[in-house]
């Protein structure tokens, strides 16, 4: 009974959480302060913006490109001769991570958002006003809300030339006593973003996403260490090292101590290397530059190609022999220092095989958090040290190891193919950011298909490189690897013709770079003419489009007029370019045949982008009755409609109305349940039919 009651409570919580999605979220407040209690004219001072973020919510920062998708936090300082901006706005404590939905790097805050801006005071009474635009999203419901605020720094202490204080100290808090209809609840991100914020053409997850991303990186590093064990430079040293511990130790306990000391030494050596690179972390701005600028990305591309060539047998990357021999001579010491130097010798001798793996990990780590290189290298060292330690603890296992042979070189070659494929990811980043047009999705996929096809041939023994031995027959492990590789090639092939390949979205150029899409091939030809003849001249169809071959409008008045013409209800989709959950709904719910059938046959579709920056002709500007602000862009007018008419400010937000603009059903927000969405559409159609029937009955009665 207890379990049943818990289940009922859980169901009720889920039910009410979905109903709460559509409620309007109140605007967060901002606390304003400065880093100095007083300042003289001509001196610089830091303006500090702090906002507390609700639990399970996160805010997008300012240190990533607005081209990625989500709304970048934007601070618009009103020019005034009483002060001068010094440098750019700086986010403090933001977390940078890769968003697989937007295929790029984003930066977010959770718990607390803090920004700082340095200014030079030029007057005893500085007038510093800031228009702020930012976006918050829920980790639980997926709801994203755009906000704008107007802040002003008041009561800054400025000393006159005589040294007297001009004003009393005070701290301004923006946004207190906000009413539900406060105009500042309006979303933003609608004005043109500051060009200084531009960066990578690339999620929204936050702390949980960052933690899972770090965990994936550490697991990747650990398995990299395990893979390094079965390379030609390391594997033959396993029996030699185990023999060293068992024969040179007088007791079993001493052998175990030396074995664990050996493993800890390896972890410490690689961890020290990571610690050195950790000091290259120069903050989020550096990480963004590292991730987006063409110079580091081209450098990483070249490095990966060089590593790949080394693994494929073109040459070996080695350390100076004199240095290696010098360290090796100290491994004969009987103390634990000898164990350390033996571990150091292993690290140095195996460098030609582990170097490319270590280099790849360091490239992934640099520019992340301070601890990422340290933990990544320590994790790699743990993976490398684990087999040595286990075989030293259980020396009888050594007899079950396969003999060294050509299979070890095959491991290196396979790693070489993988390194080469990943190299093109680094070339793809600046290609998108700087619009070089060298590596669109077609070319990228073609290169990957060839690389993995050749890798499959190599695994079957049909392709032989310089250091390979003959493969008279293919073993089961190689055969299984070949099957997996060729299956991956077959998975990639439809991507050439426009398949989304969702599992690889984070590694591939965006779908927009595809010039030919087999899924939309009809749309690109004759069907497009049919659509235009059916809907007429659709306004803004050069700016927006609907997926899955759907036809629709992007202007409210035009959709209402067409609805009256064809006597169909209107399906309003309040959406946004930077709305993650909008894309998920379109990909996972709209694509369902039952949903598509209803959208195509029963409704006039109206997609209204609330974050679009396109400025309308001046004769279409208006001052909103909701907040008394002038609306100049498509996005601001669409958002004003959502706020004033439906008292909502989240996306996605779906509304069903008739041609008289009356709501037919309870509006719906983010919900990945296909059946719920079908029921939502059916309820709207049913209400529309009932209204029409009532009109017909009323018309008949009036005629009598």
Bridge partners, 98 (sequence order): 105
By the 10 Å C-beta count (0-12 exposed, 13-18 middle, 19+ buried), 325 is classed as: exposed
β-strand partners of 58: 110, 137
Answer yes or no: are the C-beta atoms of 141 and 20 closer than 8 Å.
yes
- Report the phi/psi class of residue 437: left, alpha or beta, with left for phi > 0 and alpha for psi in -120 to 50: left
Spatial distance between the Cα atoms of 6 and 3, rounded to a whole number of angstroms: 5
Q: CA separation (Å) from 322 to 310, 326, 332, 338?
A: 22, 6, 17, 18
> Which residues lie closer than 8 Å to 97 by C-beta, 6 or more apart?
105, 106, 107, 108, 203, 205, 209, 210, 213
- Which of 16-30, 414-428, 473-487, 656-670 comes out lowest in average pLDDT? 16-30
pLDDT score recorded for residue 23? 52
Ranges in the chain annotated CATH 3.40.30.10: 540-701
2 pLDDT more than 70: no
pLDDT of residue 399: 61
Tokens read off for 703: 């005629």
Query: What whole-number distance in Å separates Cα of residue 32 and Cα of residue 20?
Result: 31
pLDDT for the residue 347: 74
CB-based contacts of 74: which residues, under 8 Å, 6+ apart?
62, 132, 133, 134, 188, 189, 191, 193, 194, 197
DSSP letters spanning 48-94: EEEEE--TTEEEE-SSS-TTSSSPPPEEEEPP-TTEEEEEEEEESS-
pLDDT above 80 for 198: no
pLDDT of residue 345: 72
CB neighbour list of residue 663: distance below 8 Å, 6 or more residues apart: 646, 655, 656, 657
Contact in structure between 388 and 259 (CB atoms under 8 Å): yes
pLDDT score at 199: 34
Identify the pLDDT of residue 282: 47
Top pLDDT among 163 and 231 is at: 231
Report d(CA 195, CA 348) in Å as an integer.
47
Q: pLDDT band at residue 286, thresholds of 50, 70 and 90?
A: very low
Q: What is the pLDDT of residues 433-448, one digit of tens each?
A: 555 778 888 888 999 9
CA dihedral for 486, 491, 496, 497, sign (positive or negative) = positive
Please report which confidence band the pLDDT of residue 523 belongs to, taking 50, 70 and 90 as the band edges: very low
317 or 676, greater pLDDT: 676
- Rounded distance between C-alpha atoms, residue 415 and residue 311, angstroms: 7
CATH 2.60.40.1250 intervals, the chain:
10-197
Q: What is the pLDDT of residue 349?
A: 61
Distance CA 558, CA 577 (A): 21
> Quick check: 598 pLDDT over 70?
yes
pLDDT at residue number 253: 77
Model confidence, pTM: 0.40
Q: Which two three-digit tokens encode residue 125?
A: 């009474």
The dihedrals phi and psi of 606, each to the nearest 5 degrees, come to -130, 110
Average pLDDT over residues 164-186: 37
- Of 474-483, 510-519, 596-605, the range with the lowest mean pLDDT is 510-519
What number is the average pLDDT over the span 638-654?
85
Give mean pLDDT, residues 299-303. Answer: 82
Per-residue pLDDT, 449? 95
pLDDT digits (tens, 9 = 90+) for 540-575: 887 787 877 888 999 999 999 999 999 999 999 998
Average confidence score pLDDT of the chain: 74
242 CB-near residues (< 8 Å, 6+ apart): 388, 391, 392, 395, 398
User: Do 168 and 156 meet the contact criterion of CB atoms below 8 Å apart?
Assistant: no
CATH 3.30.70.20 fits domain 10-197: no
Can you tell me the distance from the alpha carbon of 522 to that of 588, in angstroms, rounded to the nearest whole number?
22
Q: Mean pLDDT across the stretch 595-624?
A: 88
Which pLDDT tens digit goes with each residue over 45-84? 999 999 999 888 889 998 888 777 788 899 999 988 889 9
Question: Is 261 within 8 Å of 392 (Cβ atoms)?
Answer: no
Measure the CA–CA gap between 465 and 470, rounded to whole angstroms.
10
Q: Does domain 540-701 have CATH number 3.40.30.10?
A: yes
- Beta-carbon-side half-sphere exposure of residue 111 (alpha carbons within 13 Å): 6
């Amino acid at each position: 009974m207890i379990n049943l009651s818990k289940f009922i409570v859980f169901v009720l919580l889920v039910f009410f959480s979905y109903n709460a999605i559509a409620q309007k979220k109140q605007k967060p407040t901002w606390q304003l302060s400065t880093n100095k209690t007083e300042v003289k004219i001509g001196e610089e001072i830091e303006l500090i913006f702090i906002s507390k973020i609700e639990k399970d919510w996160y805010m997008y920062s300012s240190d990533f490109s607005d081209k990625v998708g989500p709304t970048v936090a934007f601070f618009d300082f009103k020019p005034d001769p009483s002060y001068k901006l010094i440098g750019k706005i700086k986010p403090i404590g933001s977390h940078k991570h890769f968003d697989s939905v937007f295929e790029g790097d984003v930066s977010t805050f959770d718990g607390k958002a803090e920004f700082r801006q340095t200014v030079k005071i030029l007057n005893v009474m500085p007038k510093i006003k800031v228009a702020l635009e930012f976006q918050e999203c829920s980790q639980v419901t997926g709801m994203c809300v755009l906000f704008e605020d107007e802040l002003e720094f008041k009561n800054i202490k400025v000393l006159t030339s005589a040294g007297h204080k001009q004003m009393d100290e005070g701290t301004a808090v923006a946004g207190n006593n906000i009413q539900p209809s406060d105009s500042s609840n309006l979303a933003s991100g609608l004005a043109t973003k500051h060009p200084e914020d531009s960066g990578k053409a690339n999620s929204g997850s936050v702390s949980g996403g960052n933690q899972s991303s770090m965990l994936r990186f550490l697991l990747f590093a650990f398995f990299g260490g395990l893979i390094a064990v079965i390379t030609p430079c390391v594997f033959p040293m396993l029996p030699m090292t185990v023999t060293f511990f068992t024969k040179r130790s007088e007791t079993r306990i001493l052998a175990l101590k030396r074995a664990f000391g050996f493993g800890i030494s390896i972890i410490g050596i690689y961890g020290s290397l990571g610690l050195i690179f950790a000091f290259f972390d120069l903050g989020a701005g550096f990480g963004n530059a590292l991730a987006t600028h063409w110079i580091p990305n081209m450098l990483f591309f070249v490095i990966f190609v060089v590593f790949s060539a080394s693994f494929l047998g073109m040459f070996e990357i080695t350390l100076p022999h004199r240095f290696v021999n010098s360290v090796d001579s100290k491994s004969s010491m009987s103390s634990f220092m000898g164990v350390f130097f033996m571990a150091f010798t292993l690290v140095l001798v195996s460098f030609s095989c582990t170097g490319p793996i270590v280099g790849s990990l360091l490239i992934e780590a640099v520019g992340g958090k301070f601890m990422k290189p340290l933990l990544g290298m320590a994790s790699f060292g743990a993976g490398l040290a684990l087999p040595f330690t286990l075989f030293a603890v259980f020396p009888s296992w050594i007899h079950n190891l396969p003999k060294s042979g050509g299979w070890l070189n095959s491991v290196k070659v396979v790693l070489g193919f993988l390194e080469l494929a990943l190299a093109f990811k680094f070339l793809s980043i600046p290609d998108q950011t700087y619009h070089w047009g060298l590596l669109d999705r077609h070319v990228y996929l073609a290169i990957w298909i060839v690389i993995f096809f050749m890798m499959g041939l190599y695994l079957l023994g049909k392709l032989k490189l310089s250091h390979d031995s003959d493969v008279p027959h293919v073993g089961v492990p190689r055969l299984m690897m070949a099957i997996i590789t060729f299956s991956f090639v077959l998975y990639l092939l439809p991507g050439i013709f426009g398949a989304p390949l969702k599992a690889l979205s984070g590694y591939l150029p965006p779908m927009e770079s595809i010039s030919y899409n087999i899924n939309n091939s009809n749309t690109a030809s004759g069907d497009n003419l049919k659509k235009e003849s059916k809907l007429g001249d659709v306004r803004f169809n050069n700016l927006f489009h609907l997926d899955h071959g759907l036809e629709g409008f992007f202007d409210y008045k035009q959709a209402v007029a067409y609805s009256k013409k064809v006597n169909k209800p209107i399906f309003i989709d309040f959406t946004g370019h930077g709305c993650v959950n909008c894309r998920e709904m379109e990909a996972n719910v709209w694509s369902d045949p039952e949903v598509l059938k209803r959208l195509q046959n029963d409704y006039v579709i109206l997609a209204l982008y609330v974050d679009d920056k396109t400025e309308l002709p001046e004769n279409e500007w208006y001052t909103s009755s909701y907040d008394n602000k002038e609306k100049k862009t498509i996005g601001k007018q669409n958002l004003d409609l959502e706020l004033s008419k439906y008292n909502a400010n989240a996306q996605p937000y779906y509304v069903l109305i008739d041609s008289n603009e009356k709501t037919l059903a309870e509006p719906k927000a983010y919900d990945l349940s296909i059946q719920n969405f079908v029921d939502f559409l059916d309820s709207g159609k049913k209400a529309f039919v009932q209204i029409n029937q009532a009109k017909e009955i009323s018309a008949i009665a009036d005629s009598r």
